[in-house]
Amino acid sequence: MADASGSTERDGRLWMEGKTLVQLSADQERPTHMPRGPAKRTGPGFLNPAMAPARTRSVLLLADALEHDWLVKPDHDLRALDALCATGVRVRRWRNEVPAEHQQRLRITANDLDNVALNRLIAAHEHHPPATRVDHALEDDRYERLPSGTMHNGLFVMNNDARIALMEAAYQWVDLDPFGSPVNFLDAAVQGLSRVAFLEVTATDTAALTGSSASSGQRRYGAKGIVDSYAHDDAVRVLLGLIATTAARHDRCVEPVLALFDGHHVRVSVKIRRSREGASDVLQSMGWRVRNEDGTYRFVQHPAPDEVGKASGPMWIGPLWDKDIAGRMTEERVLSLCNPTEDDISRGQANGLIWNEDDSKYAARELVRSVRYIAQAADLMSREHTLYHMDDLPNMAGVGHGPKMEALFEAVQQNGYHAARVPDIDPFFVTDAPHDELMAVVRALLA
Ligand SMILES: C[S@@+](CC[C@H](N)C(=O)[O-])C[C@H]1O[C@@H](n2cnc3c(N)ncnc32)[C@H](O)[C@@H]1O
C-alpha cells in the first residue's frame, strides 16, 4: 500500500543520487557518500552506490552530446536505451539532470528482464517526477514491430531480454551495465546501433580483464594478461579491443571517448559508426603490450616468439579518450548539472528525504570525485603517452624514494613536456616525456 509520498511498505528510505531522488528497498542500509568496492549484495531493488560516479559521468556525456551536437544534428532527436536498467536510476538521472533545453530531443527507453525492478522504476518516476515534463509518443516508425512496453512521463519501459530490446530499434545511445561480463550482449548491442552511435559498457569481471583469472580472460576476451602495474590499463584496453573487433565484424569502427578502470569495474564509452574502411583498419589499433627491461613497455602489433612471455594482449593500443569531450568533464560542469539545489533538497525533504548539510557537502565532494583528474589528463589520454605507477619510479630511476607528484609534473613541464594524473584508485600518471628524460627529472628532483 502506498502512502501520500508514494512509498510502499516494501520501500525503505529515500536517497539522493546526483539531484535525483531514489527510493531504496527496505532492506538496504543508507549508502555512504564514498562507497568503494563491489556491492555487498544485489537484488531487484538494490541500488549499487559504488556505481554512482559512472552514472554521473553518463549524465555529463549525454548532456555534452546534445549540447555540442557530436552525435545527432542540432534539430534531431537522440534515442537512448539503458538495456539493463534495473530500477532505472540511470535513466531517471538522464531525464532529471540533462539540462531542460535538451530534454524534448531526448527519447529514453529503459529495459530490464526483472519486472520487480521495473515496477520500482515506474513507481519512483511517478512519485518523484523529473524537473521537466516530457510527453513523447512512441516513435512507431522506428520499430520493425511495435515493442511491448509502457510510456511513463517521457520514459518508455520495456521488459525484454536485452538482446531483443537492443535489436528492436536503431538507438544512438546504448548503455550496457550487466552483472559481470558484457560479452553476451555486445553483438546485439553493436548490430542494434544506428549508423552513428555511442555505446557505454560496464564490465565488473575485472579478474578476467586484468589477467588475474587467466582462464576466464582467455575464454571471454581471448586475451592473456600479466598482473603488474599495467593490469588496470590492460583491462581497459582488452575490453576496448573486444568492442572494436566486435564492431568491425559488423562493418563499424570505434573512436574511444572515455575509458576508465574505476575501482572494481571497467567502464568504456565509444563512438561507433558504420564504415567498411574504418572497420578494415581495426587491426592497426590492436596489438600487445610488451614489458621492457627498464620497467616500461611498448605496444607492438605482434610480439616476437621470445617476447610472448612478457606480453599481454591482444588489446586496443590506440588512443583511449576524446580530448575535447573528456576535457569538458570538469568539476564546475558536474556541479552545475548534478549538484542538487536547495529547492531540490527541500522537495525531497517534503517527501521524507533525510538530508543535512553534511550530506550536501559529502554528495558534492563525491560528484567532484567522479570527474577528478579527467579534464587535466584529457589531452595526453587522447594521444600517444606512457603510463607510470608512482611506486615504480624509485626502482626505475635508481633512487631511494619517489618525488611528490605535483613537483614531478612541474619539472616535466619545465622540460617542455606534459604530465597528468590518471583517474584510478592507484597513483598513476601519463606523460609524453621520453623515458630517459623523465628519469633524469626524477633524479634531479631528489638530488
Ligand atoms: C548491474 S544491474 C544494472 C544496474 C543499472 N544499470 C543501474 O545503473 O542501476 C544488471 C541488470 O541486468 C538485468 N539483466 C540480466 N540479464 C538480463 C537480460 N538478459 N536481459 C535484460 N536484463 C537483464 C538484471 O535484472 C539487472 O537488473
Q: Looking at the domain assignment, is residue 281 inside a domain?
A: yes
- Let me know whether 249 and 394 are in one domain: no
CA atoms of 51 and 53, how far apart (whole Å): 6
Q: Looking at the domain assignment, is residue 365 inside a domain?
A: no
pLDDT of residue 30: 80
**Closest ligand 1 atom, CA of 54?**
8
CA atoms of 226 and 224, how far apart (whole Å): 7
Q: Is the pLDDT of residue 6 over 60?
A: no
- Is any atom of ligand 1 closer than 6 Å to the C-beta of 22? no
pLDDT of residue 273: 98
CA of 100 to the centre of ligand 1 (A): 28
Q: Looking at the domain assignment, is residue 356 inside a domain?
A: no
- Let me know whether 416 and 283 are in one domain: no
**Closest ligand 1 atom, CA of 86?**
27
Q: Looking at the domain assignment, is residue 349 inside a domain?
A: no
CA of 161 to the centre of ligand 1 (A): 10
Taking only the tens place, the pLDDT of each residue in 294-318 is 999 999 999 999 999 999 999 999 9
- Let me know whether 232 and 309 are in one domain: yes
Q: Mean per-residue pLDDT for 125-148?
A: 81
Taking only the tens place, the pLDDT of each residue in 193-222 is 999 999 999 999 999 999 999 999 999 999
Q: Which three cell numbers stand for residue 428?
A: 598513476
Contact call for residues 223 and 96 (beta carbons, < 8 A): no
Q: Looking at the domain assignment, is residue 412 inside a domain?
A: yes
Q: Mean per-residue pLDDT for 286-292?
A: 98
- Let me know whether 115 and 198 are in one domain: yes
Taking only the tens place, the pLDDT of each residue in 405-435 is 999 999 999 999 999 999 998 999 999 999 9
Contact call for residues 111 and 165 (beta carbons, < 8 A): yes
Taking only the tens place, the pLDDT of each residue in 34-57 is 655 555 555 666 788 889 999 999
Taking only the tens place, the pLDDT of each residue in 64-97 is 999 999 999 998 999 999 999 999 999 999 999 9
3-class secondary structure, 299 = strand
CA of 81 to the centre of ligand 1 (A): 12
CA of 114 to the centre of ligand 1 (A): 8
Nearest to 83 by CA among 144, 136, 157: 157
Q: Is the pLDDT of residue 344 over 80?
A: yes
Q: Mean per-residue pLDDT for 110-122?
A: 96
- Is any atom of ligand 1 closer than 6 Å to the C-beta of 190? no
CA of 213 to the centre of ligand 1 (A): 23
Q: Is the pLDDT of residue 141 over 90?
A: no
CA of 373 to the centre of ligand 1 (A): 29
Please name the residue ranges forming H helices in 49-203. 52-68, 89-97, 100-103, 115-127, 162-168, 183-192
For residue 430, the domain's CATH number is: 3.30.56.70
Q: What percent of the chain has pLDDT over 90?
A: 85
User: End of a domain among 325, 344, 377?
Assistant: 325
- Is any atom of ligand 1 closer than 6 Å to the C-beta of 189? no
- Let me know whether 284 and 394 are in one domain: no
pLDDT of residue 263: 82
Q: Is the pLDDT of residue 380 over 60?
A: yes
Taking only the tens place, the pLDDT of each residue in 238-270 is 999 999 999 999 999 999 999 999 988 999 999
Q: Looking at the domain assignment, is residue 336 inside a domain?
A: no
Q: Which three cell numbers stand for residue 248?
A: 568491425
CA of 135 to the centre of ligand 1 (A): 26
pLDDT of residue 288: 98
Q: Looking at the domain assignment, is residue 195 inside a domain?
A: yes
How many independent structural domains does the chain possess? 2
- Is any atom of ligand 1 closer than 6 Å to the C-beta of 50? no
**Closest ligand 1 atom, CA of 178?**
10
- Let me know whether 402 and 312 are in one domain: no
- Is any atom of ligand 1 closer than 6 Å to the C-beta of 117? yes
- Is any atom of ligand 1 closer than 6 Å to the C-beta of 164? no
Which residue's alpha carbon is nearest to atom 13 within ligand 1? Answer: 84
CA of 396 to the centre of ligand 1 (A): 44
- Let me know whether 158 and 300 are in one domain: yes
Residue 178 burial by Cβ neighbours in a 10 Å radius (0-12, 13-18, 19+): middle
CA of 162 to the centre of ligand 1 (A): 8
Label each residue of 172-221 as H, E or C.
EEEEECCCCCCHHHHHHHHHHEEEEEEEEEEECCHHHHHCCCHHHHHHHH
- Is any atom of ligand 1 closer than 6 Å to the C-beta of 174? no
User: End of a domain among 283, 299, 325?
Assistant: 325
Which residue's alpha carbon is nearest to atom 27 within ligand 1? Answer: 86
Determine the residue of 22, 58, 84 to mutate for testing ligand 1's pocket, defined as the one with the most ligand atoms within 8 A of the Cβ atom: 84
pLDDT of residue 203: 98
For residue 316, the domain's CATH number is: 3.40.50.150
- Let me know whether 315 and 404 are in one domain: no
- Let me know whether 314 and 391 are in one domain: no
- Let me know whether 33 and 161 are in one domain: yes
**Predicted structure pTM score:** 0.95
- Let me know whether 309 and 420 are in one domain: no
Q: Which residues of 355-388 are buried (b: 16+ CB within 10 A; e: fewer)?
A: beeebeeebbebbbbbbbbbbbbbbbbbeebbbb
Q: Is the pLDDT of residue 8 over 60?
A: no
CA atoms of 247 and 332, how far apart (whole Å): 34
Cβ neighbours of residue 164 closer than 8 Å, sequence gap 6 or more:
188
Which residue's alpha carbon is nearest to atom 19 within ligand 1? Answer: 161
- Is any atom of ligand 1 closer than 6 Å to the C-beta of 282? no
Q: Looking at the domain assignment, is residue 70 inside a domain?
A: yes
Which range of residues forms the domain containing residue 438? Answer: 385-446
Q: Is the peptide bond before 314 cis (omega within 30 degrees of 0)?
A: yes
CA atoms within 13 A on the CB side of 304: 4
**Closest ligand 1 atom, CA of 184?**
19
- Is any atom of ligand 1 closer than 6 Å to the C-beta of 177? yes
User: End of a domain among 307, 325, 343?
Assistant: 325
Determine the residue of 109, 111, 113 to mutate for testing ligand 1's pocket, defined as the one with the most ligand atoms within 8 A of the Cβ atom: 113
- Is any atom of ligand 1 closer than 6 Å to the C-beta of 93? no
- Let me know whether 266 and 409 are in one domain: no
